[in-house]
Amino acid sequence: MDFSLETASLDTLSCDCLILGVYQDQQLSASAKTLNESTQELLKKIMARGDISGKNGEAVLINAVPSSTIARILLVGLGENQPLTAKNFRKALLAAITCLKKTAISTLACTMADCVVSDVDSAWKTRQIIEVFSDTVYQFTTCKSNKETDFNITHLIITSAENELTLSKKGLHQGKAIAEGINLTKHLADLPGNICTPSFLAEQALALGKTYAKLDVSILEETDMEKLGMGAFLSVSRGSRQPAKLITLNYQGGEKNSKPIVLIGKGLTFDAGGISLKHASGMDEMKYDMCGGASVLGTLLAAAQMQLPLNIIGLIPSSENMPDGDANKPGDILVSMAGKTIEVLNTDAEGRLLLCDTLTYAERFNPDVVIDLATLTGACLVALGRVPSGLLGNNDELCDSLIAASITSNDSLWRLPLWDEYQEQLKSNFADLANVGGKDAGTITAACFLSHFAENFHWAHLDIAGTAWRTGNNKGATGRPVPLLSQYLINRAYG
Ligand code: BES
Ligand code: MN
Ligand code: ZN
């Protein structure tokens, strides 16, 4: 789908469908008023019939528009005639695009940036139109013989008032970049584990590096990691026939000596649990255990596309976690790159073993901040469900800026405590640390484990186990937290 802006008056527009907002009590949005006048009160007549009340989330497709270059009109309910909340704006956008499923509409125009939404500007509205529409039309067809999709939209026109054009352009630019990043993340995550291996992820990263001049990509092989002493990371990949990779993406958009923001993404291309084997039911979903890594790739794509004036390092430790004669065994003791010894009480707590060595490795980049994203604990689903990602960290300022970005981007976060009292649960009789902390507070003890390897910098951890993909009939990657991280980076660059 490609996107463009249009400032011309609506009665000169030609498209397969025009989206117009209407309020409750038969009140028209500004754009709807214009069109109502140029179509002899068509919209008023239709609303008077009672098929649309204007409640938020309603949508009605009008399939014939007499004597007009606009083939169809989609009326979308906005709710009461007052500034919309950001959530209701997105809800209306989602209702609009969903209503166009299985239609032949190819060129679509959306006027909804004319809505008044509390606390946001036209750049934000333009961006949300692109993000919500692009997210909804995404479909994974790579492995299907029939590549037909539910939507035929090839072009989206976003209408803008002349005096809002600068902001609309900014929104278009950012929205396109973020939507493309989200698409990459969803695509990589939806690919099955037999295609999307650590080597495949490394190739994707290298390809991304070739596309953007300011993005350099390099790969550490197992032999390199041995030299670095990454005993925790390598112990996980020893149980797999796929070689592990540590992918480094180096985006140099900022001043030469400005400290980088480091993003680390867990890249387990399949997590069977190892010798502490998982249950069979739903195990296919563990192909999504690389969503953190895929989000790092998506976010770096967006940052490079937006040409953000920042230095950003992306690190993706990638491996499989499989049961094997050479796999980690419960009770094994590992030596991490930091020198701390780890008793493996459960081989299914493998993510932290990859992440701890990658956190240590991150020190060499002299980071301004380090943010890791990982589908780390099932406990996060128990605590927070699938609504916010879990946030833990050792620096309030960093956590607060992430929360601010999560609100703007509608990609929510909820902070959990990282108190010393919880560290007790990680005590081991035989090593410096145990890799699990028992059944209580699993998300917190996982972060406590990581905190031992993040002592030398400002660090935040996002547990995305509940937010990176949907389960059930709608199973598929969400692309989260690419919107949140993109917003955080935009705020860092221009805020
Ligand atoms: N990748 C899983 C976490 C996970 C589970 C994500 C379910 C999404 C849905 C992780 O490697 C894992 O297995 N964690 C264990 C930790 C436990 C052994 C302490 C878990 O959550 O059960
Ligand atoms: Mn696991
Ligand atoms: Zn895992």
pLDDT in tens, 268-280: 999 999 999 999 9
Instruction: Give me the pLDDT at residue 207, please.
Output: 98
Give the pLDDT band (50/70/90) at residue 5: very high
CA of 377, closest atom in ligand 1: 21
H or E element in which residue 36 lies: helix 30-38
Q: Which of 176, 266, 352, 492 is catalytic?
A: 352
Domain ranges of the chain: 2-159, 183-494
Distance (Å, whole) CA 329 – CA 344? 7
What's the CATH number for 183-494? 3.40.630.10
Average pLDDT value for residue range 431-435 = 99
Give the pLDDT band (50/70/90) at residue 11: confident
Give the pLDDT band (50/70/90) at residue 473: very high
pLDDT in tens, 94-128: 999 999 999 999 999 999 999 999 999 999 999 99
Pocket-testing residue among 348, 425, 467, ligand 1, by greatest number of atoms within 8 A of Cβ: 348
Catalytic: 352? yes
Q: Are 490 and 398 in contact (CB under 8 A)?
A: no
Structurally, what CATH architecture does the domain formed by 2-159 represent?
Answer: 3-Layer(aba) Sandwich (3.40)
Q: Is the predicted pLDDT of residue 2 greater than 90, yes or no? A: yes
In the chain, the N- to C-terminal Cα span, in Å, equals: 30
pLDDT in tens, 138-180: 999 999 999 999 999 999 999 999 999 999 999 999 999 999 9
Distance (Å, whole) CA 264 – CA 194? 23
Average pLDDT value for residue range 292-311 = 99
Distance (Å, whole) CA 100 – CA 106? 10
DSSP SS3 for 220: strand
Q: Are 318 and 304 in contact (CB under 8 A)?
A: no
- Ligand 1 contacts (CB < 6 A) are 271, 289, 346, 348-351, 375-379, 436, 442, 465
Q: Are 22 and 34 in contact (CB under 8 A)?
A: no
Distance (Å, whole) CA 134 – CA 111? 16
pLDDT in tens, 320-329: 999 999 999 9
Nearest-CA residue for ligand 1 atom 9 is 378
Pocket-testing residue among 377, 445, 475, ligand 1, by greatest number of atoms within 8 A of Cβ: 377
Instruction: Give me the pLDDT at residue 414, please.
Output: 98
Nearest-CA residue for ligand 1 atom 13 is 348
- Within 238-335, residue ranges assigned H as helices are 291-306
Instruction: Give me the pLDDT at residue 57, please.
Output: 94
Torsion sign, CA atoms 461, 317, 312, 301: negative
Average pLDDT value for residue range 436-443 = 97
Q: Is the predicted pLDDT of residue 67 greater than 90, yes or no? A: no
Q: Which of 90, 278, 415, 475 is catalytic?
A: 278
Give me the amino acid identity at 181. Answer: G
